[in-house]
Structure 1
Amino acid sequence: MIPITRILSLDPAALEETFLRASGPGGQNVNKVSTAVQLRLDLDRAGLPAPVRARLEKLAGRRLTREGHLLVTSQQHRSQDRNRAAALTEMIRLIRQASVAPVRRVATKPTASSRQRRLDAKAHRAAVKHGRRAPPE
C-alpha cells in the first residue's frame, strides 16, 4: 500500500505505468529512450472514500478520463526513474489535497461597533467633501 495520509493509503494494483518518448531536454537520448512516464490511477479500484473521490474528480479537471481514470504525466527529467518519482509525487499531492474536507463558512453579522465605525467614516468623508465646496453666494 502507498501511504497518502495517516488514515488513507492507495492500492498499488490500481496504478498502471506507461513509458513514452518525451519532448524537451535530453539531446539524442530523447529520440531513442522512452523517459516520460504516464501514471494511470483507476479510481474504481483505488479504494478511496466517496467524498475524497468526488473532490478528486473535481480537482483533476482534464486529467480525468471518461472511464474514471486519473492520468498524471511527467517528462520534466531526463531519467525514467526521476520522472516516475515525480509523477507519483504529483498524484499523491492531488489525492492529499482532495482528502482535506473544505471548511464550511459560517455567516456572521457585522458588530454594532463596526457598523458605527463605518457610519462615522462616511460622515467624516462627507464633511471633508463638504469643506471643498465653493462658498454660497
Structure 2
Amino acid sequence: MSGAGLIIFLLIIIVLKQFTSILNSKLYVREYKDIIKNNSHGYFGVGTFQPKLGIGQVCLIVIDDQNIIRECRLINGLSIFAKFHQYVPVIDQSTESEAVLNDKHRKVLYQAVQNASNARTKSQRGSS
C-alpha cells in the first residue's frame, strides 16, 4: 500500500470512529430521556464497566425510596449494533437482594445502584 493509500485508509477509519461515537451518544441520550420521562418519582443512576479486553457494559437504573429497582436497562457490546434492552431479572428486586448481588452483571449493576443512591442522598439533603 502506498503512502497516500495508507493516509486515506486511516482517515476513513477516523471518520467511521467519529460517526459511530455520534450514533452511540444519540442512543444513550434517547434511552436516558425515555427512562427519566417514565420514572419521574425515582432516582437515576448509571453504571459502566469497561475491561481492558472484552465486552463493555452500560447500565441505566432507577430505584425508589425503598431501594427497589423500578427500571433497569443494559447495553453490552463492541459495536454500534449493540442496543439497550430492559434487564428484567432485577426489576422489582431490592438492591440488596440475592438476585442483584449475585447477578452476572453485578459489577455494572452495583455501580449504577451506588450512583442512584448518591442521587437520592443529594435529593434528600436538598429537601431538608
Q: What's the TM-score bracket when you normalise by the shorter of the two chains?
A: under 0.3
TM-score, structure 1 length as denominator? 0.26
TM-score, structure 2 length as denominator? 0.27
Q: When you count helix as a share of all residues, which structure comes out higher?
A: 2
